[in-house]
Amino acid sequence: MRLFQKLKRSIIATVLVWPLTANGHETIDKLSLYTEDYAPLNFIQDGRLTGISIDLMEEMLKRAGANQNRDSIKVVPWDQGYVTVQNRPNSALFAMVRAKNREQQFHWVGPIAKTSIVLIGRESNDQPLQSLDQLSGARIAAVNNDVGHQLLLEQGFDPTGIQLISSPQTAIGLLNSGEVDYWAYDQLVVSWHLNQSGNRSSLTARYILGQGEYYFAFNKRTDRRIIVVFRQILDEMREDGSLEKILGRYMTSDH
């Protein structure tokens, strides 16, 4: 039965991909692809764009018969990419946490990885946190339009206490200097950057704002066939072990 279902999905995917990749791969190769510097999901290392979502997208493009590859992906600040993909047909931004306030703004392909959005603070700050109500007057760093920023606002945190930043390195510097008390961000990404910066022992997760999963987010006016094909290909990668193999390249046991 499972073999029949797999064969059926493969046939459907082939039928759907054919009109996308015919005539010079015109439809799928018109996709505008955007990402940010957000290791280990997407980042530049030794001059090459890499990471979980980059490897996945390149493999999906390859399996779809597209001419595009990782060199076709533009690296932009998160806020710029977010606004662009909200407004530009046939475009995608990744990796993005699928959240309630974003649900109707994009088409979703995934999930590709689980995540916790946390408040990172200094270990020397030993005040136990049970709710955001305890943080009156606190200063929290967050990236504009990042899910951490959005969760703070949704949960009623005073926006005047949020310092908007553009990079994890800036947040780590602000925490170490005492200019902010906390940093709202993804725990997987935080762990990566703390390991890289050598600050792992001095900064720690103090409070969980929310949990979710990462997806590829596509503009709502993207050709529907592209969404269906990418979903099918990602399902196949999950079944054949390709997704797990890519995750294993970047996620260590302490993540």
* Overall average pLDDT of the 121-125 stretch: 80
Give 238-250 pLDDT, tens digit per residue: 999 999 999 999 8
Q: Are residues 39 and 157 in the same domain?
A: no
Query: In this structure, how many other beta carbons lie within 10 angstroms of the beta carbon of residue 136?
Result: 9
Give 58-110 pLDDT, tens digit per residue: 999 999 999 999 999 999 999 999 999 999 999 999 999 999 999 999 999 99
The pLDDT of residue 6 is 53
Q: Are residues 119 and 96 in the same domain?
A: no
Q: Are residues 28 and 100 in the same domain?
A: yes
Give the whole-angstrom CA distance, residue 202 versus residue 94. 30
Q: Is the pLDDT of residue 149 over 60?
A: yes
Query: In this structure, how many other beta carbons lie within 10 angstroms of the beta carbon of residue 209?
Result: 19
207 in Cβ contact with 129 (< 8 Å): yes
Give 6-60 pLDDT, tens digit per residue: 554 554 455 445 455 544 356 889 999 999 999 999 999 999 999 999 999 999 9
Give the whole-angstrom CA distance, residue 18 versus residue 34. 25
174 in Cβ contact with 165 (< 8 Å): yes
Give the whole-angstrom CA distance, residue 16 versus residue 250. 32
| Segment (H or E) for 110 | strand 106-122
pTM for this one?
Answer: 0.80
Q: Considering the domain boundaries, does residue 221 fall inside one? A: yes
Is residue 33 helix, strand or coil?
strand
161 in Cβ contact with 155 (< 8 Å): no
Give the whole-angstrom CA distance, residue 253 versus residue 246. 14
The pLDDT of residue 193 is 79
Q: Are residues 60 and 106 in the same domain?
A: yes
> Which amino acid is it at 180?
V
The pLDDT of residue 126 is 66
As a whole number of angstroms, the longest Cα–Cα distance in the chain is 62
Q: Are residues 152 and 245 in the same domain?
A: no
Q: Considering the domain boundaries, does residue 39 fall inside one? A: yes
pLDDT band at 113 (very low <50, low <70, confident <90, very high): very high
Q: Considering the domain boundaries, does residue 43 fall inside one? A: yes
Give 165-213 pLDDT, tens digit per residue: 988 889 989 998 999 999 999 998 888 877 776 655 688 899 999 999 9
Range of the domain at 107: 2-113+215-250
Pairing of strands 91-97, 203-219: antiparallel
Q: Are residues 79 and 12 in the same domain?
A: yes
User: Where do the H-state alpha helices sit in 88-223?
Assistant: 147-154, 168-177, 187-197
* Overall average pLDDT of the 121-145 stretch: 87
Q: Are residues 86 and 12 in the same domain?
A: yes
Q: Considering the domain boundaries, does residue 255 fall inside one? A: no
Give 213-239 pLDDT, tens digit per residue: 999 999 999 999 999 999 999 999 999
The tokens describing 131, both together, are 């709710």
Q: How many domains does the chain have?
A: 2
Report the b/e string of 1-32 with b at 16+ CB within 10 A.
Answer: eeeeeeeeeeeebeebbeebbeeebebbbebb
Q: Are residues 107 and 133 in the same domain?
A: no
